[in-house]
């Protein structure tokens, strides 16, 4: 049995690398009964997502996952059956030298909705005695799927439909209850944040905007004419009430997305969480050279919104392209808000279509089993 899995996570930038690896590790352990060891190169950043982590320890077990600090002098045993190299992070030479030809080596790629992903998923290349397999997450059945815990949809639906649960969550964050439109905001600092806040303030309905602490806080402070802001502050301007939240646990961030009416998300992991929340969302892709992120955005817009009616599709395209551009006008934002009811229904419909597909962790386990069988077959 391929029970022992190693996951290698190099933290390049932000929280997406560790966010995805930590979520995957927990799901493989909890839902597939695997022994998972997560190798992390930067425990300090990881601690933001895994608060129980003791950064002084080279090895520890938390939530049934063995977490090992991966550094230049790490000594490896190479006893795993399956090795996940997250986002082409490069397995260390000392580890590669311990791997056996039948060790299943899988490179977990970045998520993209581009059509070429279907044909590149599940390819491989020889590296000496070893074979490196390429696993592409994606939105179609021909890809590796999307990370989704078995209970996330039920949890989100319960929270979205039950006011007492929502009040309990808001109370826990020291937030007031209101019937105002709720919006969460998580984005990169190069987004036109001032323009968005301005559009929210002058929109024709009151808005509660929740901002978990991130690198955009100085920009928000500037909008309100302040030098700095911290979690707990409430800032008001015209129709906009803005609540600064602490950086939440992944579980609480899911809850925030589930109770909001619109979610601004970014990168990779929060993007998928917004889809499972089933609410209209605006995705900001991770900035890449040669406008690659715009290509990725357009591929996703085509995949997700092309079945929408003309008005909803147009307002979704407009708001996304404005958000990745340098400006988001009051008109574009108001048009989006005017279409929220159909956008809500259509987004939920698309989310349900994706939920009907197998999730990434399950597909990864099946993929690893198929590789093992082929290896065995080739030997016979």
3-state DSSP percent of the chain in helix, strand and coil, to 5:
45, 20, 40
Distance from the Cα of residue 116 to its chain's centroid: 21
Distance CA 316, CA 290 (A): 24
**Tokens representing residue 166 in the block:** 């929502």
Mark out the alpha helices in 123-216 (DSSP H runs).
152-161, 163-172, 193-202
Answer yes or no: 268 catalytic: yes
Question: 6, 68, 109, 268: which one is catalytic?
Answer: 268
Task: Tell me whether residue 19 or residue 138 sits nearer to ligand TRH (CB atom).
Answer: 19
> Shortest approach of ligand TRH to residue 378 CB, angstroms?
35
Question: 17, 41, 109, 261: which one is catalytic?
Answer: 17
Interface with ligand TRH by CB under 6 A: which residues? 12-17, 19, 49, 110, 186, 212, 214, 247-248, 250, 253, 266-270, 286
Task: Tell me whether residue 112 or residue 131 sits nearer to ligand TRH (CB atom).
Answer: 112
Tokens 């000594």 — which residue? 75
C-beta of residue 186 within 8 angstroms of C-beta of residue 212: yes
If one counts every other C-beta atom within 10 angstroms of the C-beta of residue 161, the result is 10
Beta bridge partners of 265: 283
> Shortest approach of ligand TRH to residue 131 CB, angstroms?
26
Nearest-10 Cα torsion for 231, 234, 235, 241: 120
Task: Tell me whether residue 13 or residue 291 sits nearer to ligand TRH (CB atom).
Answer: 13
The end-to-end CA distance of the chain, in Å, is 18
> Shortest approach of ligand TRH to residue 63 CB, angstroms?
14
Task: Tell me whether residue 230 or residue 376 sits nearer to ligand TRH (CB atom).
Answer: 230
Answer yes or no: 17 catalytic: yes
Tokens 């939240």 — which residue? 245
152-161 vs 269-277: helix crossing angle, rounded to 10: 60
Q: Which of 7, 258, 4, 271 is CA-nearest to residue 139?
A: 271
Dmax over CA atoms of the chain, in Å, equals 73
Distance CA 267, CA 111 (A): 9
Task: Tell me whether residue 50 or residue 328 sits nearer to ligand TRH (CB atom).
Answer: 50
Distance CA 41, CA 43 (A): 6
Please identify every residue annotated as catalytic: 17, 268
């Amino acid at each position: 049995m391929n029970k022992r899995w190693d996951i290698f996570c190099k933290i390049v930038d932000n929280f997406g690398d560790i966010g995805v690896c930590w979520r995957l590790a927990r799901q493989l352990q909890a839902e597939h009964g695997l022994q998972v060891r997560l190798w992390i190169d930067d425990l300090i950043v990881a601690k933001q997502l895994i608060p129980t982590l003791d950064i002084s320890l080279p090895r520890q077990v938390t939530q049934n996952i063995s977490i090992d600090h991966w550094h230049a002098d790490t000594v490896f045993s190479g006893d795993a059956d399956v090795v996940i190299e997250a986002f082409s992070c490069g397995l260390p030479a000392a580890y590669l030298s311990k791997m056996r030809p039948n060790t299943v080596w899988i490179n977990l790629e970045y998520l993209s909705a581009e059509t070429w992903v279907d044909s590149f998923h599940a390819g491989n290349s020889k590296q000496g005695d070893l074979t490196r397999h390429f696993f592409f997450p994606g939105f179609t059945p021909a890809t590796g799927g999307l990370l989704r815990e078995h209970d996330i949809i039920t949890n989100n639906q319960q929270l979205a439909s039950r006011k007492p649960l929502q009040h309990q969550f808001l109370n826990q964050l020291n937030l007031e209850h209101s019937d105002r439109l709720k919006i969460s905001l998580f984005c990169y600092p190069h987004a036109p944040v001032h323009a968005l806040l301005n559009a929210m303030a002058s929109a024709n309905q009151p808005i509660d905007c929740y901002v978990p602490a991130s690198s955009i806080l100085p920009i928000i402070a500037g909008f309100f004419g302040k030098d700095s802001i911290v979690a707990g502050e409430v800032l008001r301007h015209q129709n906009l009430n803005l609540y600064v939240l602490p950086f939440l646990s992944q579980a609480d961030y899911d809850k925030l997305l589930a109770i909001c009416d619109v979610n601004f998300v970014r990168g990779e992991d929060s993007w998928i969480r917004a889809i499972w929340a089933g609410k209209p969302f605006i995705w900001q892709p991770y900035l890449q050279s040669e406008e690659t992120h715009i290509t990725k955005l357009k591929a996703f817009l085509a995949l997700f919104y092309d079945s929408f009616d003309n008005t909803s599709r147009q307002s979704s395209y407009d708001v996304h392209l404005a958000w990745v551009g340098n400006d988001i006008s009051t008109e574009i934002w108001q048009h989006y808000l005017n279409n929220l009811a159909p956008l809500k229904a259509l987004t939920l419909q698309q989310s349900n279509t994706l939920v009907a597909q197998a999730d990434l962790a399950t597909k990864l386990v099946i993929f690893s089993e198929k590789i093992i069988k082929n290896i065995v077959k080739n030997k016979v």
